[in-house]
Amino acid sequence: MIVKPPKILDQEIEWNKTETIVSKTNTAGTILYVNDTFCKTSEYSKLELINEPHNVIRHPDMPKVIFKVLWKNLKKGKNFHAIVKNLTKSGKYYWVITDFTIDFNSRNDISGYTARRKAVPESVVEKITLLYKTLLEIEKLKGEEASELYFNAYLEEEIGKGYNDFVLTLFQEELKKQQSKEKSAKFQKSLNWFFSSKYE
Ligand SMILES: Cc1cc2nc3c(=O)[nH]c(=O)nc-3n(C[C@H](O)[C@H](O)[C@H](O)COP(=O)(O)O)c2cc1C
**Domains of the chain, residue spans:** 21-195
Determine the distance separating the centroid of ligand 1 and the alpha carbon of 115, expressed in angstroms. Answer: 10
Pocket of ligand 1 (CB under 6 A): 23, 25, 29, 54-55, 57-58, 62, 64, 67, 74, 84, 86, 100, 113, 115
pLDDT by position in tens, the chain (length 200)? 556 778 999 999 999 999 999 999 999 999 999 999 999 999 999 999 999 999 999 999 999 999 999 999 999 999 999 999 999 999 999 999 999 999 999 999 999 999 999 999 999 999 999 999 999 999 999 999 999 999 999 999 999 999 999 999 988 888 778 777 755 555 555 555 554 544 44
- For 67, residues 6+ apart whose C-beta sits below 8 A from its C-beta are 58
Q: 1 with 53: CB under 8 angstroms? A: yes
Q: What is the pLDDT of residue 197?
A: 41
Strand, coil or helix: what is 12? strand
May I ask the CATH class of domain 21-195? alpha beta
- φ/ψ of 125, rounded to 5, equals -60, -45
Give the Cα-Cα-Cα angle 160, 119, 17 (nearest 5 degrees).
Answer: 160
Question: What's the pTM?
Answer: 0.90
CA–CA distance from 4 to each of 43, 44, 45, 60, 90 (Å)? 13, 11, 14, 14, 10
Instruction: Provide the residue type at 130 as one letter.
Output: L
Strand, coil or helix: what is 96? strand
Closest CA to 62 of 114, 133, 130: 133
> Half-sphere exposure of residue 172, counting CA atoms within 13 Å on the CB side?
11
Q: What is the pLDDT of residue 195?
A: 47
Pick the atom of ligand 1 nearest to 24's CA. Answer: 1
Q: What is the pLDDT of residue 188?
A: 54
Q: What is the pLDDT of residue 125?
A: 95
Q: What is the pLDDT of residue 129?
A: 97
Determine the distance separating the centroid of ligand 1 and the alpha carbon of 179, expressed in angstroms. Answer: 32
Q: What is the pLDDT of residue 58?
A: 97
Q: 167 with 97: CB under 8 angstroms? A: yes
